Amino acid sequence: MTNILTSLSISHPVQAIIVGAVLAFLTAQVIMNVVVNAATTTVNGWRTTMKAGQPGNGILLRAAFARVLPAVNVAQEAAYWTTTKDSAGQTLRGQRDYVLQFPAGQLPPNEAFWSLTMTDVVGFMVKNPIDRYSVGSRSGLTPNADGSIDLYLQRTAPAGHESNWLPTPAGNFKLMLRAYLPGRAILDGAYHVPPVKSVR
Amino acid sequence: MNRLILKYGYPMTFVILAILAWTVYRIFSAGGSGLLGFVVVAVIVWGLGTVVFLYLWPTFAYSAFKRAVVQHGLGGGPIPVNTLYATPTRVSPAASNASLLATGTDDVLYVGGWLDLANGPLVLHVPDMAGRYYSVQFTDPSDGADFAYVGKRATGTAAGEYLISGPGWKGTVPQGMAPIASPNKSALVVGRVFVASESDLPTAYGLAQQLQLTPLSH
Which of B45, B47, B61 is the closest to A17 by Cβ? B45
Closest residue in B to A66 (Cα) is B58
* Mutation choice for B interface testing from A18, A22, A76 by most B CBs within 10 A: A22
The domains of chain A are located at: 1-43+52-72, 74-198
**CA-CA distance, A139 to A130, in Å (whole number)?**
13
Predicted confidence at residue B85, as pLDDT, reads 95
Q: What is the mean pLDDT of residues A5-32?
A: 79
**Is there a domain that residue B42 lies in?**
no
Cα dihedral B172, B176, B178, B184, rounded to 10, equals -40
B37 and A4: CB-CB below 8 Å?
Answer: yes
Contact indicator for B192, B87 with CB cutoff of 8 Å: no
- pLDDT over 90 (residue B26): no
Residue B87 falls within a domain, yes or no?
yes
Query: Nearest by CB to A66, which of B35, B57, B133?
Result: B57
Nearest CB to B145; choose among A7, A53, A119: A53
Amino acid (1-letter code) at residue A20: G
- Report the range of poorest mean pLDDT among A52-66, B19-33, B63-77: B19-33
Model confidence pLDDT, tens digit, residues B36-48: 888 888 899 999 9
Q: Which CATH superfamily is domain A74-198 in?
A: Domain of unknown function DUF1214, C-terminal domain (2.60.120.600)
Point out the residue among B102, B144, B152 whose CB comes nearest to the CB of A62.
B144
As a whole number, mean pLDDT of residues A15-26 equals 88
* Structural domain span for residue B167: 72-215
* B1-23 tens-digit pLDDT: 455 555 677 787 788 788 778 87
Q: From chain A, pick out residues whose CB is under 8 angstroms from the CB of B144.
A: 53, 57, 62, 65-66, 70-71
More confident residue, B125 or B16: B125
pLDDT at A122: 84
The CA dihedral of B24, B25, B28, B30, to the nearest 10 degrees, is -110
B120 located within any domain: yes
Give the mutation candidate from A33, A180, A186, A187 for the B interface (greatest B CB count, under 10 A): A180
Per the CB < 8 Å rule, is B45 touching A138? no
Domain total for chain B?
A: 1
Question: Has residue B111 been placed in a domain?
Answer: yes
Determine the residue of chain A that is closest to B49 in CA distance.
A24
Q: Searching chain B, which residue's CA lies closest to the CA of residue A182?
A: B153
**pLDDT at residue number A195:** 97
pTM attached to this predicted model: 0.88
Predicted complex ipTM: 0.88
Contact yes or no for A19 and B133 at CB 8 A: no
Question: What percent of chain A lies above the pLDDT cut of 70?
Answer: 94
pLDDT > 90 in chain B, percent = 65
- CB nearest A77 (choices: B20, B103, B135): B135
CB contact under 8 A, B62 and A70: yes
Name A185's bridge partners: none
Q: Are B146 and A55 in contact (CB under 8 A)?
A: yes
Q: What is the mean predicted confidence (pLDDT) over B150-162?
A: 97
pLDDT at residue A165, rounded to an integer: 96
3-class secondary structure for chain A?
CHHHHHHHHCCCHHHHHHHHHHHHHHHHHHHHHHHHHHCCEEECCEEECCCCCCCCCCHHHHHHHHHHCCCCCCCCCEEEEEECECCCCCECECCCCEEEEECCCCCCCEEEEEEEEEEECCCCCCCCCCCCCEEECCCCCCCCCCCCEEEEEECCCCCCCHHHEEECCCCEEEEEEEEEEECHHHHCCCCCCCCEEECC
Q: What is the mean pLDDT of chain B?
A: 88
Instruction: Tell me if B191 is assigned to some domain.
Output: yes
- B11 part of a folded domain: no
Least confident segment among A26-40, A100-114, A145-159, B85-99: B85-99
Give contacts of B34 with chain A, Cβ < 8 Å.
7, 10-12
Partners of residue B153 in chain A, C-beta under 8 Å: 76-77, 111, 181
Q: Does residue B9 sit within a domain?
A: no
Q: Which residues of A touch B61 (CB under 8 A)?
A: 66-67, 70
Q: Could you tell me if residue B31 is inside a domain? A: no
Asked if A76's CB is within 8 angstroms of B9's CB, the reply is: no
Question: CATH code at B200?
Answer: 2.60.40.1610
pLDDT range class, residue A66, cuts 50, 70, 90 = very high
